[in-house]
Amino acid sequence: MAKLSYTIKKKVEKKYGKVFFLLSLFTFLFFVVGFLSLKPPEFDDCSKLDSSECLCPKDRSNISRKNIILVDTTDPVRGGKFDDVEQLIKVFAQESKPLFAWVADGKRVDQTSIYLLADKAPADMRPIASFCSLPPDIALFASDLTAKQIRILENKATEKLKVAFADLTKSTTAVSSPIIEALSLITSNATYWNPGSNLILISDMIQNSPECGWFENLPAAPLFKSLPNSCKRRVDQFIENILPNKVHKSKTSISICSLPRNTIKPGLNDFWHDLIQDGLKYDFISTCDPLQIKSRYRDLN
């Protein structure tokens, strides 16, 4: 009987040993697969501070939304509004997506480009800085980057922000303010924009240009339908650039962070509401709060 008991005990130990081995193997494979699933796409380092490719994935298909922040510098950015500009740039340019949102979006990051509106809208407007959000912190541990390299990337992003802020402080009063022309141009550049992203305007929204009218000199803003045909072509191009298409099916969210003026131009809000609603069939949101802007985007999509 003792021999039988010993034999049964040995078989039980062998059985549980096999179960423990399989459980350990499963757990190991689970963590390996999980680790690899969080591995972010490879992205470029940057050796030059003004490189628009800095901190972005090498494979540009790993960029989801291409947001634009257009800052109107035809009038000085004063007081508390500078803090609003700084906060908007930091939130959209530096904050990572939540982990689950990042995974659900195919581990793609968002790109945010900062444009300054001067008194002239050149044919090839370029951003003063362009950022790609880093993957969530936990995903960075699954990347090939060392902790030192991650800190270097974060420091480079911070330095680029300092350059952007320094340019903003140089804004002075200008003769013209070609807002419509600028919107048409910057949304035509597929490197920095795609439909279904966030378009944020930081401006007093006073349009001043030979092509689309001198609002500053009028007692009230004109009706949208009274725009000259040359300007309407600009508007049509802008609307076409931000409407959903076969590749980018989400809706573009437009936000206006208003710069203060001594007086409110009568009819100005109606003009911009009509321009946006006529093309998109929905309105923009007036806010400088990045959380409200993100919430608006979620509501639209």
40-57 residue pLDDT tens: 666 665 554 344 455 677
Nearest to 73 by CA among 125, 15, 16: 125
**Pairing mode of beta strands 213-214, 208-209:** antiparallel
Sign of the Cα torsion 9, 15, 18, 24 reads negative
- Sole residue written with tokens 């030979």: 210
Helix axes 79-94, 290-300, angle to 10 degrees: 50
Radius of gyration for the alpha carbons in the chain, expressed in angstroms and rounded:
26
Of residues 95 and 207, more confidence is placed in 207
In this structure, what are the phi and psi dihedrals at residue 200, rounded to the nearest 5 degrees? Answer: -115, 120
pLDDT digits (tens, 9 = 90+) for 265-293: 899 999 999 999 999 999 999 999 999 99
pTM: 0.79
**Max avg pLDDT among 56-70, 78-92, 156-170:** 56-70
182 touches 119 (CB < 8 A): no
Q: Cα–chain-centroid distance for residue 58?
A: 18
Which position has the higher pLDDT, 13 or 194? 194
In 3D, which of 108, 102, 110 has the Cα closest to residue 131? 110
Q: What was the pLDDT predicted at 17?
A: 59
Q: What angle do CA 166, 169, 173 make, to 5 degrees?
A: 140
pLDDT above 60 (res 24)? no
Question: Domains in the chain, please, with CATH?
Answer: 60-300 (3.40.50)
- What is the distance between the alpha carbons of residues 208 and 74, in angstroms, rounded to a whole number? 10
Coil, strand or helix: which one is 120? coil
What mean pLDDT is reported for the chain?
A: 78
Distance of CA 59 to the CA centre of its chain: 17
Sequence-distant (6+) residues with CB within 8 A of 136 are 96, 97, 98, 99, 102
What are the C-alpha distances in Å from 112 to residues 26, 85, 91, 263? 41, 13, 10, 32
Percent of the residues in the chain that have a pLDDT greater than 90, as a whole number: 38
Q: State residue 179's pLDDT score.
A: 94
What are phi and psi for residue 110, nearest 5 degrees?
A: -105, 145
Find, among 87, 84, 117, the residue nearest to 184 by Cα.
Answer: 117
Nearby residues of 275 by Cβ (< 8 Å), 6 or more positions away: 224, 235
- Round to whole Å and give the CA distance between 42 and 196: 24
| pLDDT tens by residue, 94-112 | 677 777 777 777 778 888 9
Q: Among 192, 285, 183, which residue's Cα sits nearest to residue 233? A: 183
Q: Which long-range contacts (CB under 8 A, 24 or more apart) does 137-142 make?
A: 137/96, 138/38, 138/99, 139/38, 139/39, 139/40, 139/99, 139/102, 139/107, 140/40, 142/35, 142/36, 142/38, 142/39, 142/40
pLDDT at position 264: 82
Give the pLDDT confidence score for residue 36 in this predicted structure. 43
* pLDDT, position 50: 45
